[in-house]
Amino acid sequence: MVGLGTWLIPNDDAKRVCTDALNLGYRHIDTAQIYQNEEGVGNALVSSSIAREDIFITTKMWPGMYGDETFQTFSGAIEACEQSLKLLQLNEIDLYLIHNPFATNSRVELWEAMVELKKQGKVKHIGVSNYNVKHIKEIEDAQIEMPVANQIEIHPYHMIPDALEVYMNNHNILPIAYSTLAPLPNWREGSRWNSKPEAMKNDPSIPFLEVAEKYNVTVAQLLLKWSIQLGYPVLPKSVNYERLKENLDLNFTITGEDMSHLSVSNKAQSLAWQEKFDPLDVD
């Protein structure tokens, strides 16, 4: 339920951070082709004494982005997975995801590549990321094997849209939460990917610190536990040993009243993709 997120961890630091995490008890590491740190993650895996079957590795195929590049093809997706396997020094990826839904004209083709990779034994489970109902329904309508997971932005300011949550529940698709720590003042500190809407920066409606103090935990621990109690695995990222340890120490329970108080679903402020677009609304 608590994995190590590696977005924004440089490749040169990835081995150290992943090694620290594994030694602390993490057994799920999340990376991606676009993160450019799969090699460092792989170096940590091969140097660890922990059995391979006890570690769950998620990585993602980059299909392209509007206005930035050409979109991925079936053969390109196969090659991308093979490259990730090589960098990670693995024979099989536990969970392989399509990173976003922006390859409008080839989404089904790319999903067919994912199914093929599973048939070849290169990946154990296949899923998507940042997909909405429309995107997943294309797979259903094509009568292809459905995703097992959808990795999406989830925190008290950005809940899963109701229609998506119902659809995923009906099709046994697990929501995996990223950017759960977005409400923290120092979220992605020093990065150009840390912009927040002014309304969120100044919003006093959720006294996170007050609730955290009630349980004698940090706000980060409160946010992570909030997601886990909703049933969503989390992927907190840190390069700091003590914070890595803290993010794994979630031995407390938030009351139902406090859970409701923390869930401000009407805010719907997406942070992970900033103002360029909302991945849950893209055509």
pLDDT in tens, 219-257: 999 999 999 999 999 999 999 999 999 999 999 999 999
Does residue 178 carry a catalytic annotation? no
CB burial readout 159-181, b (16+ within 10 A) else e: bbbeebeebbeeeebbbbbbbbb
Return the higher-pLDDT residue of 67 and 211: 211
Return the higher-pLDDT residue of 174 and 209: 174
Mean pLDDT of the chain: 89
pLDDT of residue 184: 83
pLDDT of residue 2: 97
Mean pLDDT value of segment 83-98: 98
pLDDT of residue 196: 59
pLDDT confidence bin for 264, thresholds 50/70/90:
low
CATH class of the domain defined by 4-262:
alpha beta
pLDDT confidence bin for 201, thresholds 50/70/90:
low
Q: What angle do CA 128, 114, 103 make, to 5 degrees?
A: 60
The pTM assigned to this predicted structure is: 0.91
Annotated catalytic residue: which of 35, 96, 131, 178?
A: 35
**Cα–Cα dist 206/183, whole Å:** 10
